[in-house]
Structure 1
């Protein structure tokens, strides 16, 4: 007569075969998808978690069936434990997907949202990352509590103690958490934006917006971690949202070149009107603004057609070169301060 062990041996063997089949199937499907695509990355990322889920759940089901309720009393049967392990494996797969998506968020966001700007794409990916994390944590917590047979009264008591702890000793954590939620609702900035906090003398590019703090990367590439509560009480300058940058250039002429002021101004204005890099919906001007100690002071003012800082630098360089050419063309010159020392 066969013992229960002999009758149950096909279960783990079947689990091994199913796990191997799942791995090979995912491998074949993934290799057929386009290289670098989000679908291929997610399929290949699922291999480890799904394979181990099949192995662990089948092995646990087999062992609990052998032990029986007399040797290992459980609030649920072996079938329910197997189902819970499969559930946890699927959650693990979702978390691995989340990690893969965020690892190449910019690349994958272009595939999913090709018609949106980079700023909007990264915001949607960042928001979905946070929402998925919260959902997974809540589902896992509730499912594990149900598996352990936790009474509802105990949950209510724990919730009461948790609320008291928040009220007495975790006010800062609550403030930072609520401020983090506010950042996602109001969106004063998103990942990738360059921001400045004048009151704290801090500026940098936003790397991560978490629930309790925001990570910036300053111009020297140093990470800066800022509590989210600061953003609700301190003014924030979002440099990335500048629609057009101002170019302001002060220059001077020699006092002997006063007759050349008007023709120089006239020609520079013509060049501004014909320059396609300038935003012509905003005022662009060249004026004589005063008599300096050693120069006739002029000022050129215009706005770049975009908010890109590199475009502003390029336009400023171009205009500085044009100013020099126009001044030289009209046989004028730019003075430099001189000082005469008379020895007695």
Structure 2
């Protein structure tokens, strides 16, 4: 077709003998490129006008279709125009590059079609998760996972079709992929582990973008910003980005505080031992206050009881749940509850206890009982000493009397005298 058109045009121009062949080719190529630019400009404005008109309707799918195909249509016009210009140049030139016009046209058409599909998938993703465009928007994490999987399928299919268009056998490509896949699997096992870890996260949905998560097994805590196929981006509370490989989530426990239904107030409050007579009334009034508090969830567990005799206080356990789950609002409610508990205690003449210790001092720094014991012990020791002295004096007097009696009854030279002084004799 291009050849017939060029032959007719050349014959018509040659009859006039105005221009040389090179000039004629240049003029035709310029005319084709200029016409392509004009058609692309007109097509872009037509689609833009249609998009502006259909945006006023309630149907949102036509808007997505027109917005997704606007750029690919312009690219297709340019592809076709350049192909015709290259065919005209090939008609007058034997350069090898012009022989690939047909193959480049097929590959270019596949590229443009895939580009349009990818844009359409992205537009649909933005629609189904938008609360403005949908009455019941879908979960962003799930839609994002389906969108990524769809784009991967489209790209892989386009690559295989392009290889077939370039003359490569798909059976050989698939066989090479099977053998090479084993080597790649061993070499990139961590990458594959992260890929399947991301797939499991998208499938099980333990968390989604915007959730606050933490792990008791690792130092991971923050807000999820992005869930990729290899890593998940978490913004910590000190505003630092934390990139966690997806394979990590298959081996650790993950808490999702964003899905909590209530926040808990658990406090132990002590009053003085002097206020034990008011304990029952104080406990009852605190319980009544919590039951009437507008920010305390009465459907959850509520406990207010005398807990234990502590070292310096009588302990009261307060256990309740707030309706809000917001961190800042929770602390405001907790502050209000604690202040009202303090008011209840003071209204009954009681006080909140604090650690105390009482020390008693006697005369001369001794305890009374200790002084009496020491005085009694001293008196007992003095009595025992006097008794011992009396006994020793009595024994000495008895010995002296016996001595005098013996000397009185025995005369000098008597046997008894001798036996006493000299001992036994022959």
TM-score, scaled relative to structure 2: 0.67
Residue 175 (structure 1) aligns with: 193
Gaps of at least 5 residues in structure 2 are: 1-10, 14-23, 366-426
For residues 217-243 of structure 1, give each alpha carbon's deviation from its aligned partner in whole angstroms, at most 9, with x where no partner exists.
Answer: 111111111111111111111222222
Q: Which moved more, 1:92-101 or 1:291-300?
A: 92-101
Q: Which runs of 4+ in 1 moved over 6 A?
A: 37-42, 73-76, 97-102, 339-342
Whole-Å separation in 2 of the counterparts to 1:201 and 1:190? 19
The alignment yields a C-alpha RMSD, in angstroms, of 3.5
Q: Which moved more, 1:139-148 or 1:196-205?
A: 139-148
Whole-Å separation in 2 of the counterparts to 1:43 and 1:94? 12
Whole-Å separation in 2 of the counterparts to 1:254 and 1:64? 101
For residues 305-324 of structure 1, give each alpha carbon's deviation from its aligned partner in whole angstroms, at most 9, with x where no partner exists.
Answer: 35444443333222122212
For residues 127-162 of structure 1, give each alpha carbon's deviation from its aligned partner in whole angstroms, at most 9, with x where no partner exists.
Answer: 233223313321331232123221124303421332
Deviation at 1:301, TM superposition (A): 0.9
For residues 105-144 of structure 1, give each alpha carbon's deviation from its aligned partner in whole angstroms, at most 9, with x where no partner exists.
Answer: 699621344335xxx5322332233223313321331232
Matched, 1:158 2:176: yes
Matched, 1:114 2:138: no
For residues 75-114 of structure 1, give each alpha carbon's deviation from its aligned partner in whole angstroms, at most 9, with x where no partner exists.
Answer: 8763x64354244234335545666788xx6996213443
Alignment: residue pair count: 336
Residue of structure 1 aligned with 2:43, choices 16, 19, 22: 22
Deviation at 1:203, TM superposition (A): 0.9
Deviation at 1:299, TM superposition (A): 1.8
Whole-Å separation in 2 of the counterparts to 1:162 and 1:313? 58
Larger of the two Rg values belongs to structure: 2
Residue 300 (structure 1) aligns with: 318
Matched, 1:91 2:114: yes
Residue of structure 1 aligned with 2:232, choices 214, 228, 233: 214
Gaps of at least 5 residues in structure 1 are: none
In the superposition, relative to structure 1, how do residues 246 and 39 fare at CA in structure 2: closer, same or farther (>3 Å)? farther
Matched, 1:223 2:241: yes
TM-score, scaled relative to structure 1: 0.82
Whole-Å separation in 2 of the counterparts to 1:169 and 1:282? 53
Residue 151 (structure 2) aligns with: 133
SS in 1 for 2:108: helix
In the superposition, relative to structure 1, how do residues 268 and 57 fare at CA in structure 2: closer, same or farther (>3 Å)? farther
Using CA pairs below 8 Å that are at least 6 residues apart, which structure has the higher relative contact order?
A: 1
